[in-house]
Amino acid sequence: MINELRATGLSHAYSTPAPGPFGRRGRVAALTDVSCTLARGDTVGLVGQSGSGKSTLLRVLLALETPTRGGLHLGDTPVQAGNTRSLRWFRRRVQYIPQDPAASLEPRMTVEQLVREPLARLGVPGDHRALVREALDSVGLCGSLATKRPRELSGGQAQRVALARGIVAGPDFLLADEPVSGLDLPMRNQILALLEALARDRSLGLVFVSHDLDAVGRLCARSLVLSEGRIVEQGPTDRLLAAPEHEATRALVDAIPRLKSPRS
């Protein structure tokens, strides 16, 4: 069991195309001196507008990209992006929940095969059939769906399959990328409640990436606000919602839909 995922002083820049045949390639900073820590049992919102650096930070935290500067540690062990075999130990501890599971699920595989795949790929010992059954039960999917394929699933069911794939190997940390953005309101609330229960019952460290502070407020105890590749505000989510200090946070709070009182 590993108790902490820690990023220290992360900076990352991307190359831009040269302006012409004799021009020089430019560099665009996506992250600048970002530090954050996720402990088991933490629920942390990572929020910001499009282009704020959320996706780049998520990719670094998932060891899909190596930062230009700074480092990533899982417990006391440094982590660098690499191939699946060299990072198998890391993938067992840190799992990813995609934004659009319908697009990420292999259409030719059944639900049971999809949930079992991480166990085989990561070399997880034990009774794989029992582990798959337990994961499906944990996300509220009945056994009759095990033979279905992605095209036969609703959006909510597909997201639950993605969650089952994320927890089946018994990770310590889940990193979720806008997992409710494509769902209608009732299903959105169900998935938020399910994520909250999974994090609590399994003592998972959960990062919830979103631009929707309303969803983050329902799920996350604390939040980090990114703007132009920097953390510009952080703290308890309730405080950020009630008294945002940075203009980027205020813009996100102002974007939360609110019911208007009917005119008399």
User: With b meaning 16 or more CB within 10 Å and e meaning fewer, what string describes 23-35?
Assistant: eeeeeeebbbebe
Buried b (16+ CB within 10 A) or exposed e, 107-133: eeebbbebbbbbbeebebeeebeebbb
Measure the CA–CA gap between 48 and 212, rounded to whole angstroms.
8
Q: Contact 114/106 with Cβ under 8 angstroms?
A: yes
Quote the CA–CA distance of 144 and 261 in Å, as a whole number.
45
Amino acid (one-letter) located at 192: L
Domains located in the chain, CATH noted: 29-82+172-253 (3.40.50.300), 105-171 (no CATH)
Tokens matching residue 171: 């990770």
Note the pLDDT of residue 263: 44
Chain-centre distance of CA 86, in angstroms?
22
Model pLDDT, residue 261: 41
The predicted structure's pLDDT at residue 18: 61
The reported pLDDT for the residue numbered 181 is: 85
Decide: 224 and 232 in contact? Cβ < 8 Å: no
Whole-number pLDDT of residue 81: 87
Record the tokens describing residue 89, joined without a space. 């130990």
pLDDT of residue 26: 60
Q: What is the pLDDT of residue 166?
A: 96
Question: pLDDT tens-digit profile of 44-91?
Answer: 999 999 889 999 999 999 999 999 999 999 999 999 887 778 899 999
The pTM of the full predicted model, rounded to 2 decimals, is 0.89
| pLDDT per 10-residue tile (average), the chain, 264 residues | 90 75 69 95 94 93 93 94 85 92 88 96 94 95 89 92 96 94 89 95 95 91 95 96 94 77 42
CA nearest neighbour of 176 among 90, 95, 73, 80: 95
